[in-house]
Every structure is written in structure tokens, then in C-alpha cells.
Amino acid sequence: MSDKPEKFIDENGIRLDGRRVDEIRPMTVEMGVLTRADGSCYLEWGNNKVLAAVYGPRELHPRRLQRPGEALVRYRYNMAAFSVEDRIRPGPSRRSTEISKVSGEAFEPVVMKQFYPSAVIDVFAEVLQADAGTRTAAINAATLALVDAGIPMKGLVAACAVGKVDGQLVLDLNKPEDNYGDADLPIAMTEDGDITLLQMDGNLTVEEVNKGIEMVREGCEQIFAIQKAALLERFGTAEEEEVLED
């Protein structure tokens, strides 16, 4: 691992990777990359590479797990053994179990589960290359994979972290900022702005948390725009795409 940098932000307010404090890393997405999945999305965000696949709605076995009035949504976040510098031991860990739980819950208000009683919708988020912010990257990819699978949703979900380095709040932490920073606050939200995931590592004042949430809102607006452009590319007509480009 690299050593702690002396300074994370220079006198012009520019971070080590050239971004401003309120700027997210470049993000690209491609939907429908897996033919066997009902829905899929490959997402790159900075140096993160994530693949999301959705299977279902399909009958849930064992049947005792079925929910009579709605579908069960299962979310599995996994980091590939080769996704980080040191090999990760394959299989679930405390970290991945926790991330899976809270990430699945981030979709709770948007997925219209009532249309598929007794069914299961499985969401798999596989981190192929990790570089800080993988849980948020996975949520951004999973949203599009769910839409790709034709799951009825009230809207999209976007996620982004904010943190603190050199006494300043910074949006979308990169690896050194995540490793050596004072705080990491990953947040997911719906298009209505309702927060569906909020975790915090480190120390922030109430004012910083509030300001951080506003910075994440701005970041999520950009992510929603990227997600919508991907949806138009996949499902839109040429005329609709032109309107977006104008």
C-alpha cells in the first residue's frame, strides 16, 4: 500500500487525482452485457469495475421462504479474489454480508415487489476491480441491471460517498482518501431524494454530515443523468437520444 500523502488537496483546491472537492470520478456504464441473466450492467467508476446481474422474478425455493404478498429481493455483494492487490479469500465475509444487507435495503422503496408474490428477485453485484467506493458503484450498477430485467420500479437509486481529508469534505473518495482520510460516508438515494442507505466511518460534525449529504445529492444527480443516458441508449429511439444530446 502507498504511504500517506502529505497533502490531499493543493492550494488551488485540486485533489491528487486532479478532481475538485465536489467532483465525482468518471463513470461509464453498459447494460445488457450478460445473455443468461434477465438483466445486467457493467459499470466502471474511476478504477472500480463492477458487474451486476439480476435473475428473476422466478419461483423461490425452498417454498417456506416465499412471501405470500410480495417478492423477496436478495442482494449479494461480492469482491472477486483478484479485485484488490492482496488476494481476497473467496466466500462471504462479515464485510460482504453487511454490505449485501444494507445495499438490498437501499432498493426497498423503489422495487414494486407486490407484483410478484412468492417470487424471488436475485441481484448479484460482483466487484472485479476495487478502488474505494465499491458498495456505491455496485448499487449504481444494480439499479440499471434491475431495470434491464424489466423489474417494475418507482424510480432509480444512485449512490456516492463523501468523506473528509485535510479538514475538507470531498465527494466520491479515491483509494488514498479512503485509506487515510478522517471519514467515509456512503449514501444511496432515490430520485425523490429519499436516503435509503447511510453508513459512516470516522468522525464528522452534524454540520459536516448535513453538508456532506448535500454534496452527495449533487453527485447523485450526475449519476442519475448517466443512468438515464444508458437507459435511453438501451431502450430509447434515435429521436429520444437526439433530444437528450441537445
Binding residues for ligand ADP, rule: CB under 6 A, are 84, 86, 88, 130-135, 175, 178, 184, 186
Neighbour count for residue 28 (Cβ, 10 Å): 10
Q: How far is CA 15 from CA 78, 91, 165, 176, 177, in A?
A: 29, 35, 10, 11, 9
Strand ranges for 80-211 from DSSP E: 119-129, 157-165, 168-171, 183-190, 195-198, 201-202
Look up residue 68 and give its amino acid.
P
Smallest separation (angstroms) from ligand ADP to the CB of 217: 19
Cβ distance to ligand ADP smaller for residue 3 or 86 = 86
- The cell numbers describing 168, all together, are 475538507
Smallest separation (angstroms) from ligand ADP to the CB of 116: 29
Cβ distance to ligand ADP smaller for residue 129 or 168 = 129
Cβ distance to ligand ADP smaller for residue 126 or 131 = 131
Residue with cell 431524494: 193
Smallest separation (angstroms) from ligand ADP to the CB of 44: 14
Cβ distance to ligand ADP smaller for residue 1 or 238 = 1
Smallest separation (angstroms) from ligand ADP to the CB of 46: 10
